[in-house]
Structure 1
Amino acid sequence: MSNYKETAQQVIDNIGGKGNVNNAWHCVTRLRFNLNDKNKANLDAIKKIPGVMGAQFSGDQFQVIIGNTVGDVFEEVEGIVGGGSGNGPQNSDEGIVSKIFDVISGIFTPVVPALAGTGLLKGFLALAVILGVSAESPTYLLLYGLSDAVLYFFPFLLAVSAAEKFKTSKYLAMAIAGGMMYPTYHAAAQAAFAAKLGGEAAPTVWKIFGAVPVPLVTYSSSVIPIIFAVLLLKYVNNWVKKWMPKSLNLMFTPMVALLIVFPIAMVIIGPAGTYAGNFVGDGIAWLFKVAGPLAGVVLGATFPLLVITGMHYSLLPIALTNLAKNGYENMIGPVNAVTNVAQSGAAFAVALRSKNANMKQIALSSGISASIGITEPAMYGVNLKLRRPFYAALAGGGIAGGFAIFMNTRSFGGGGMPGFLSIPAYINADDRMNVIWFIVALLISWVLSFIFTLILGFEDEVDQPVTAPAEASEPVEAGEKHRIFSPMNGQLVELKTVPDETFASELVGKGVAIQASDENVYSPVSGTVMMFPESKHAIGFLGDNGVEVLVHIGIDTVELGGEGFDLDLTQGQRVEKGQLLGKVDYNLIKEKGLSTVTMVIVTNTPNYFDVSPAQQDGVIFKEEEIIHII
């Protein structure tokens, strides 16, 4: 838990602090933020945070890619920013399309786990019926009610997430959803629909306030009506608050707001939203019907590109509308599943072919995650990084997407995470081949991506050579080139007291900390410079005896981008013990509000029997031995 808290705190610190967070939420693998000032986000620093796989802006959103532990990290983020809600207006110059994608993502992302869990349950219940379980048994009926409840009462879930996104009352939003779903009205709407299908006379027209006719529309499983109703609620509620006397605000503001919003929702917004949703869904269905498998190929080959930008959530309303209208979804869901599995196949090919032990491990674990629908670890950590495996996954997913559409594979539930775990959602007692063709599509995607990756190949990462450790309990050879000396004059500080948990807990390695007394920095060993970033705040040395030493000047000084660091070094440069490397303006670092303590760390500590400070405290001078190695 401490690691999650540390990751969360560093992320918040590097996006400008909690005061810069207007809104925060998360999806399956990413932290998502709306920031008041996007210029305060330090992308380079965030990408280097332990536990972070990547970071990017997508329209109004700032996304931090975490992977499978995003839920744990977000719990800590919520604790820091206070529930993930706003701290002021957003300053955004993004276009309307980006704003729409941002709103859709913010509303639908929080409800995905509920859809996934109940959709998977519905698939297993269908399998149970095929295996002989009675559909009339109390156990089945209770569990089926649970599996169907989320989609049936979907307006309630969307009311909550939309209210959080639009920053209005969640309880008033649910009250509107309750009015739209109330049994009396719902029964009348169903009766009107049944009469229309049977060619019977339309039922008596409902009128609100005795004058305005109310269209009888079924809002069960609907998407668009409640979202726009909540958006209207935000503005009406704020308007009423402005003129309502404070003494009457608690009771009368909600009542007046509901009396304004609900009739508009039932007369205008609800019917219009329902018809618009059906129109869009029918349009997409027509496109797939006309283009057929070609539409599946195009969507399958481009779906991962939507995932990279986070825009894939914009397709969720279309899928849910079709599922609610038809009882199944045969376009977005199947293609999404095969493209996820494609990332898995490519990653497994990398795990087989790579000679880099670390890459093998990452590719194998992320390949397993991608097979069950969590693709970002494989996509960012392996396939995109090596490039050609990503191209192979696009090709494999495109071909499998075309096959899935050609065979008209249909999802009958939320489906869990799109991938192998979503198979139960494709089980149907009336069409037992449906799930078979879906499994075949998944296998086509995985196998083709695997083969294409092997054919295309990739530039493997080469393992860094590691010098064999010294014999246990034997000191390293005598001689100055085999010892670690102080890189500066100053005062020794206990490493565990430095205000950076990564160093204090010795996650990077064992060593010492120094508070410098002057601006000069010297080489602590004789060897080569193996790491020197553009920010110049840290130097990595490889000693002649294989000892790897990191000199990290200050904490969070990467934010300065090299300002205040007058160090002239290049990677691969030869240095000698005690060589003057340059100067550091510690006063500037203090003025920026950052710590000036310097950490001297043996980063390959596990190679040795023991690494310990030569002395615990006191004044230290350059070229004085500071670390003992056994």
Structure 2
Amino acid sequence: MTEKYQALAETIIEKVGGKENINSLAHCITRLRFKLKDEALADTDFLKNMEGIVTVMQSGGQYQVVIGNHVTDVYDTILGLGVSKVSENPAPAKKQNPFDAFIDIVSSIFTPVLGLLCATGMIKGFASMFLSIGWLSDQSGTFIILNALGDSLFYFFPIFLGYTAAEKFKLNHFVGMAIGASLLHPTIGSINALEPLFTIFGGSFMESPIHATFLGVPVILMDYASSVVPILIATYVGSKIEKGFSKIIPDVIKMFALPLLTLLCIVPLTFIVIGPIATWVSQLIGSGFLAIYDLSPVVSGVILGGFWQIMVIFGLHWGIIPIALNNLAIYGQDTLLSLIVPASFAQIGVVLALMLRTKDKKTKTLAFPAFISGVFGITEPAIYGITLPKKWPFIYSCIGAAVGGAITGGTRTLNFVSGGLGIFELPSYVDPKNGINHSFYMCLLAMIVAFIVGFALEFFLFKEEVKPVEAAPAHPINHTKLSSPIEGQVIPLSQINDEAFASELLGVGVAIESTDGRVVAPADGTITSFFPTGHALGFTTDEGIELLIHIGLDTVQLEGKHFTTFAKQGEKVKAGQLLLEYDVESIKKAGYDLTSPVVITNPKDFLDIIINEEDTISLSEELFTIVLS
């Protein structure tokens, strides 16, 4: 425990309602992020005015206490006082839309294994490369050990995810691991080698040979190695089962009875219900894509290429792979696999662009190994660790994959063997009879185009949340507050009809629907620029915060009409000093929008910027809190 921050930590715990009111605690670069059972119990006014705290924000279901660059020390001290990172009795989460809820689940479950995912992915990629170029034989001990190490996470993924999913869904961690281990037990796989007892759903797409039963109920077995969705669903359902049993099992036997009954329920349920449903959905998707390909190869390339990575995430790609392998076995060639080859190259194109554009050190650190493993076809580190949690990069990769799929589909590109992954898939497109032909070149073209599209979309449309560089060693908080220079209704920049401001190309801030026609200095500083038309001015505070105030949209066309200035460029002014007046009604009658952006144009110079989230603001109210260091 850091004694220096103990008094601060104790007061924070007390003023957020005590330990019993804390559901969870996390932190980012400047803020403690609490999830409280009842935010009404927190003394927000006290905390806002407390020395050592910059301000308090309540947003997105989180109670955020802004500390500054020594937030880690305060966080560690609070944990040392007995506050847990996660409560055993969390309050109900605020309702999210399905996509955001899915992203939250994926991020929470996969984040703990990101480093290992990148490491094993790189090892597997290099092992494949060494094998393909002849440096190693598949019979050599070196290759066998490297390949086993590279496969260690991917093959046993259900066990690792059983642990992290249990953390997310509040299930006993070791019960989650046991569920995953059950799915991978070698005797389960060996059952499929036995003669079928009978077949169910004969004549339908769900036709399945039954090699075993559980208490007389048919069990349809599938390969769970490297799978994702079955263990996630099983863990979620298992958490509900465990919760139900925990209410009725006596405490004296709960230690062994609770996991016993939970496992006896969820593992058979997974084999009997969850696995078969995933298999049938995969088969339906596979049959559907065959029908689409027969109708239009280009359309099938766009659909299968664009949605391939999504299918992999849900484990639905297994409906395509068997069809492609069957085509190779029967006809010696296949068209489906060529539609999905570009996906990994679109993914690594996005990752490379993100690595070049982002200033976030963690993202850069993860992006490099994810890019390397992606070159060799191992894209899970890129998907789960980087692009999917950030949403738009993942969408860009799907677009690039769709374009690449359209190329291979439209040219009816063929592959002739089931070969390597990533860049080492190219030899699979060499025709054994005719050598290198259009299939090889079209596959290579699709890879390049998918990479370029993914790279270009991410590079040119890149948008990063303002994040500071790593904080310096702890020292007293240095922050300042800026009052609003304009009075009116506060509107997020993203909602205004001006792309340059809405995309935050010009700075970070808000727009204000002006009501009283005045602009005052938000702090002591200097007017660094003042347009002759009076519609916009640049302002720099004494602390070096650069502010752009733009009255209305397109009001430059008024050429100064209806604007009256009370200061000039280069003048030093005091906080609250009148700088500009304008005739609100006349400007509106002239057909101009008086939504006025107020943005900080040098946000990267500061540790954090907190924006007042009130709907309306007056000239005397604080608009920005800037953490200087």
Place the TM-score, normalised by the shorter chain, in its bin. Answer: 0.3 to 0.5
